[in-house]
Amino acid sequence: MKSEKGFTLLELLITMAIMGILTVSVVNLYGAISKLEKERATKKEMEEIKKSIVNYYQKNLVLPLPDSNYILSIDELELPPSAQTDENYKDKYYVYVATNQADPFADLKVDGKTIGTTASVLISSGRNLRFEEENSTLSDGIYTQKSSNTDFDDILIYISQSELETSISWRREIEEELAVLNQAAQILAENDDDNDGFVDEDTTDPSGNWDGLTNWNLVSGVSSLTNAGLVRDANKVVDPWGIEYIWDATQHKFYSSGPNKEDEWGMGDDIDL
């Protein structure tokens, strides 16, 4: 009977070489996957910061300006200190650049394209911890998001002027409707001469504000304006979220409860003129 033989030296060397190749491949694959995971995590964090910036703009109609050295202003955005740095790349600070109506830049450009005189960019230096190409000079308002250079690893997201304008389209609608309601409130308070809750609605009312008094108590909400015939369009008495505009009897003006649909007494995300 023929005896079995073990592996020859050549076979062992070939096996070890194959295992080495497989090990290197696995290590490289792991490194590539790890890199992608870090990039995804950074982009996700940057998108959350972007939402905070847009929300700030919706409330204030201006962009939050950066702190010194183009560092994100976490106080204005009500973000934790960790939001200033890219935790996935050795706590390197994000770069945040913003402009409001040509101040301090005439315009912001990304990859050679204009994004507007009211716009912002947020940049991560990536794994090499260097801001590259146009991102290396922050003071000129010109930045790079995509590059043909394979070594370029900056991550940039931007908010364009058109995107910001779209984000406040509902606010403009609110402001227009509040202007109508407040004007009607003024008329009602000054021209209900016989205190019946209506504005010179028939021949029994004297013309003009005969007693010279402004009775703001007559304005109790949008119903008082509709009852007086001052506002006839039902769409003008509710905000974009279907909530009736609220009367502030102290300030003598109407306001919206805002996107959260909760009356916060003119605070929070409530909106007025």
Q: How confident is the model at residue 2 (pLDDT cuts 50, 70, 90)?
A: low
- Predicted pLDDT of residue 191: 87
pLDDT reported for residue 119:
96
The model's confidence at residue 15, banded by pLDDT at 50, 70 and 90, is confident
Residue 146 predicted with pLDDT over 90: yes
119 three-state secondary structure: strand
Q: Give yes or no for residue 6 having a pLDDT over 80.
A: no
pLDDT of 256 reads 96
- Return the exposure string of 231-262: e unless at least 16 CB atoms fall within 10 Å of the residue's CB, then b: beeeebbebeeeeebbbeeeeebbbbbbbeee
Domain ranges, ordered by start, for the chain: 46-167, 169-255
Residue 109: φ, ψ to 5°: -130, 140
pLDDT recorded at residue 80: 93
Give pLDDT tens digits for 16-57. Answer: 777 777 766 666 655 555 678 888 999 999 999 999 999 999
| Per-residue pLDDT reduced to its tens digit, 190-247 | 888 777 778 876 667 777 777 778 889 999 999 999 988 899 998 889 999 999 999 9
List, for residues 253-267, the tens digit of each pLDDT value. 999 998 889 999 998
Say what the pTM is. 0.69
pLDDT tens, position by position, 77-120: 999 999 999 988 888 999 999 998 888 889 999 999 999 999 99
Residues 6+ apart with CB under 8 A from 31: none
Q: Which residues contact 178 (CB under 8 A, 6 or more apart)?
A: 245, 253, 254, 255, 256, 271, 272, 273
pLDDT tens by residue, 52-72: 999 999 888 899 999 999 999
Cα separation, 272 vs 174, in Å, equals 8
